[in-house]
Amino acid sequence: MASSWEKFEELIKAEMRKIYSEAVIEHSMNPRNLGDLDDADGFARVTGPCGDTMSIWLKVNGDTIINASFMTDGCGTTIASGSMVTEMAKGKSVGEARRIGQQDVLDALGGLPDESKHCALLAANTLKEAVSDYLAMKKEPWKRAYRKY
């Protein structure tokens, strides 16, 4: 027999299904890669036009992103976008990750309503900035000691 909490959760999901794909619901309610990474090789914090802020941390080995994580103060679609973009980045080269764009995130999530598409753009832009930070630190590794998250 389902608990009151499970019934409530299913009611919420039923309402969400009217607007969002299963991928958006899953990634917003059970985000992957949430939190910071110790000793990250790349980092970025970007604030989108709606005021949501996203941070992404990258761990790179050779030219491959071996781990990625994120934090945001944003809404459910921003959480889903951050979760998805960090999943997409893992296992990719830094060049491949840098090419992940808004439409790639939207496609992976099964789309977002027009008023939420900027969340996918925020996630893609934050990933690009984190890759750029990694490349800058690779050129001048001494700057890593002065980094503040």
| Helix (H) / strand (E) containing 132 | helix 117-139
Domain ranges of the chain: 4-146
User: Model pTM?
Assistant: 0.90
Residue from 119, 124, 127, 137 carrying the catalytic annotation:
119
Which residue among 11, 50, 66, 136 is the active-site one?
50
- Mean pLDDT over each residue of the chain, to the nearest integer: 93
Q: What percent of the chain has pLDDT over 90?
A: 77
Give yes or no: 50 in active site.
yes
- CATH code: domain 4-146 is 3.90.1010.10
Report how far residue 50's alpha carbon sits from residue 103's, in angstroms, rounded to the nearest whole number.
19
Instruction: Map tokens 């899953």 to a residue.
Output: 26
Q: Is 75 a catalytic residue?
A: no
User: At a CB cut-off of 8 Å and minimum separation 6, what does 32 contact?
Assistant: 83, 86, 87
Longest Cα–Cα distance of the chain, Å, equals 59
- Which tens digits make up the pLDDT trace of 19-72? 999 999 999 999 999 999 998 999 999 999 899 999 999 999 999 999 999 999
User: What does the angle CA 79 – CA 65 – CA 50 come to, to the nearest 5 degrees?
Assistant: 25
